[in-house]
Structure 1
């Protein structure tokens, strides 16, 4: 998948194939472009009646022109919800998350597990999830019988962040926050230092008699003056070095 049109094509293709049989609806098909995953929820009995298996879904996706393979399969027997709930092992655990830079990051993780509070399309086994940007921690309530902490960590890492189960042996969250603050402080200092040559080029070069002809009139490459090439070089450095982390976080 390379764009939103690809993910939409998969959703529409699966719905057109299986919706008429009562197997799928708009809430039971979720194609996640950023992590290249497809999550489908359907009733086991209906799937059995129509001879629908994970391989059937994979073949249908491949017929649409995409590759696919089965990652996880969660099953819940129909008619046994009460017994399963009574025997379920509901736990609440905290996870330390690194790499979040803004509220969009924490919201993306939270939405991934809760789907905006829609219990029907929420991540299988997860009852609730809360992500705090300030403390760099996620509190997730889940059924330990259906979902393991390692799977939750892998899901968070698939979203582009680093994660681990919080414990007494885990590095203190304050230390993590302080390390990130130090990192961004260094980045700010670098920005200020590289802002000085920009000030020189903008406010000094055009108005000083000996710099103006040297910088503006001397053609160096392909019709560009020294002044233009210096501005291009500084801008490129900003984008590829100082601003690269923000671009990476945005795409994640």
Structure 2
């Protein structure tokens, strides 16, 4: 049986069309999942009087909490004047973000993105890092949204953030290096980064610990911000 060039081209074209259809269908499912909330009306009946905030850099989302309130004090859990190189210890807020160690530490901005590092972070399980920043006020140069949660939910969120840090034999958090700004530092973290568990997935997981609604697929920072609501009715 003779195979013509036309039949080969048609076969390759069909395979290409199938592949494009699969990619389009997958992206459409993810887009829909980003718009669907995980819960519709399951609100806490407890008193919500504690603030938490989430910031959006356009790619990454970060959880911002007060240094201390009447239920938790971060100054007892992390060395504040050792976070960044500015030696400031009178911060009012701390920002926490989790992500791929190599990508986070070597990519201060979008123009510094390295293709090999990005592909490795997305498709291979890689070591992770905590990006910690100290603020004297809520940053106004980022998109930030704040909500109130209950005391029990707040403590669950603090436990989740605490458990993400790797610690040494003495229980101290392990600082790996300076951050990309003078108020930031990188710390060793637990968990592996991959396309299935991204920086925004970590934020979403933490918010769910605090009974805060998140999208069905929390891989995008804008989706987390869009769904962010108080966990109280």
With structure 2 as the length reference, what TM-score do the two structures score? 0.21
| Greater percentage in helix | 1
Structure with more relative contact order (C-alpha pairs < 8 Å, separation 6 or more): 2
Greater Rg by CA: 1
Instruction: Give me the TM-score of the superposition, normalised by structure 1.
Output: 0.20
